[in-house]
């Protein structure tokens, strides 16, 4: 598995000043971009044209999380923008293996997300088709939610499967990640952490990133 990474979510940023907000997280590993369509989730955020513009101005790689219906149709278009990674929800995909391959064929890393109540076991045989597995630690759709400890056993099972496979697969967690919860998620086996309000709600986002990374790495080292 890869090193511990902190990917701040711009869902908690000031959307009127996104370029400036990107510059405030210069020490992050990637920018987590939440795409919501008001169908798969009840919120509406960004679409292809805005994500393309963010890609053009960002000094950091973009990690897109597509909380959208009909992922088979739309996810490859995000990969074509040149994003570092594109993550689709398995609940919104008809043919997840084909979709993961389509994303990879377009030059992006392929991620697959699971809602808190979606079991990981049915998808363990397709780990070789993925670069990242995203275990949602809140219900997708809104920022600022409380971390769901009930997801920790699933993270552990996913991490054990990844270790057993020998694959360089990242396990990402998204939702309620803060200084109070990141150690629990890291102990369970996650190594890529999406943090929104914990970063952008801080007076110094880069300092918050540094503290989150140090906390996760301390667990991994132990």
* Terminal C-alpha separation, the chain: 15
Choice among 37, 63, 131, 174 that is catalytic: 174
User: Rounded distance, CA 176 to CA 153, Å?
Assistant: 16
* Residue 34 annotated as catalytic: yes
* Residue 14 annotated as catalytic: no
Choice among 14, 29, 34, 125 that is catalytic: 34
- DSSP calls for the chain: ----EEEEBGGGS-GGGHHHHHHTTTTSS-EEEEEEBSSSSS-B---HHHHHHHHHH-SS-EEEEEE-S-HHHHHHHHHTTT-SEEEEEGGG-SSHHHHHHHHHHTTSEEEEEE-TTS-SGGGGGGGGG-SEEEEESS-TT-SSPPP-GGGHHHHHHHHHHHHHHT---EEEEESS-STTTHHHHHHHT--EEEESHHHHTSSSHHHHHHHHHHHHHHHHH-
Catalytic positions, written as ranges: 34, 174
């Amino acid at each position: 598995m890869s090193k511990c990474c902190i990917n701040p979510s711009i869902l908690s940023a000031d959307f009127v000043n996104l370029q400036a907000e990107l510059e405030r997280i210069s020490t992050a590993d990637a920018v987590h971009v939440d795409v919501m369509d008001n169908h798969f989730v009840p919120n509406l955020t960004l679409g292809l044209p805005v994500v393309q513009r963010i890609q053009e101005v960002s000094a950091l790689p973009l990690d897109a999380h597509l909380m959208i219906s009909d992922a088979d149709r739309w996810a490859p278009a995000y990969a074509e923008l040149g994003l570092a990674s594109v993550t689709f929800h398995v609940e919104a995909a008809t043919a997840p293996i084909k979709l993961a391959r389509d994303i990879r064929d377009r030059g992006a890393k392929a991620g697959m997300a699971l809602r808190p109540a979606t079991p990981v076991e049915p998808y363990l045989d397709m780990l070789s088709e993925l670069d990242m597995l995203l275990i949602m630690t809140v219900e997708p759709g809104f920022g600022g939610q409380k971390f769901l400890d009930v997801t920790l056993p699933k993270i552990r099972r996913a991490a054990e499967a990844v270790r057993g496979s020998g694959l360089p697969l990242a396990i990402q967690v998204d939702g309620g990640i803060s200084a109070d919860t990141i150690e629990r998620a890291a102990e369970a086996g996650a190594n890529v952490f999406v943090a929104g309000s914990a970063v952008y709600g801080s007076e110094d986002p880069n300092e918050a990133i540094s503290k989150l990374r140090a906390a996760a790495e301390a667990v991994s080292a132990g």
